[in-house]
Amino acid sequence: MDALSDENSKIISQITGREIDHVAPLTGGCVGEVYRVRLSGGETVVVKTGPAGGHLDVEGWMLRYLRENSALPVPEVISAQESLLVMSYIDGQDALSSPSECHAAELLAALHGVTHAEFGLERDTVIGGIVQPNEPNSSWVAFFRDRRLLYLAAEAEQAGRLPGPVRARIDALAARIGEFIDEPEAPALIHGDMWGGNVLVQGDRIAGFVDPAIYYGDAEIELAFSTMFATFGESFFRRYDELRPMRPGFFEIRRDIYNLWPLLVHARLFGGGYADTIEKTLSRLGF
């Protein structure tokens, strides 16, 4: 076996009632390590391990929420503990194609059709190990300003990953955010971490989505995130627009506004050039 601790191996065997035959590392896992584990009898599961306080129990809760409240294909949670998550294995290692992008659009349009009375969620969630505060709010503008922009700008500055002058420019934008974004028709359930590494493809179909960071928000913030690393292209957006027509101004203004959130997440986690990208985005917006 490869790097799975004896203690975790014993816990997995107790949970599944099977002995472990083989362990292979998988890519991904911002908080900890990810493994494909073959059990006696041939069943394969995915195991994520992390440190104490790794919030893997929260990830398990989010996956269960998606399975119970949407038709989005996600792994089945077998066991979710703070530092150990055991899930069903989804085979999906192919590259995105035009047909699979169209399928992704159909799946996400359906997900975004799941609505709620308020923005946020009944509990805080996590993205990349960072807590996402989700105290419900009837106003999307206020929720995005307070629970996303201002919250994470403060977290990134406190961690030494965002210079004070850049934080001040974000504060200036936040004070006028209502001039740039509006209230969507309804709070939409979003996956919340929509980049290519979290999209599993098998042939021309989407096999599953992993590593969610869920809450109810403006569906456009999900669409914006998907453009940050060029996860989806023209085929996706054409099909999505057919199913859920996009409001004017998304690509021109709101995409940049909403991508400040994942940029701040990456700045907080990794530092590096993300603060520079945030500065350039702010400059494009006139701040």
Q: How far is CA 15 from the centre of its chain?
A: 27
Cβ atoms 208, 200 nearer than 8 A = yes
Tokens representing 146 are 């307070």
Kindly report the length of the chain.
Answer: 287
Cβ atoms 255, 230 nearer than 8 A = no
Catalytic one among 57, 91, 146, 193? 193
193 is catalytic: yes
For 262, phi then psi, to 5°, come to -65, -30
Beta strands in the chain (DSSP E): 20-26, 33-39, 44-49, 77-81, 84-88, 125-127, 130-132, 188-190, 199-202, 205-209, 215-217
Cβ atoms 277, 262 nearer than 8 A = no
Q: Is 165 exposed, middle or buried (0-12, 13-18, 19+ CB in 10 A)?
A: exposed
The strand pairing partners of 201, in sequence order, are 93, 206
How many Å apart are CA 86 and CA 8, to the nearest integer?
11
How many Å apart are CA 106 and CA 114, to the nearest integer?
13
Rounded-to-5 percentages of helix, strand, coil across the chain:
45, 20, 35
Which residues are catalytic, by number?
Answer: 193
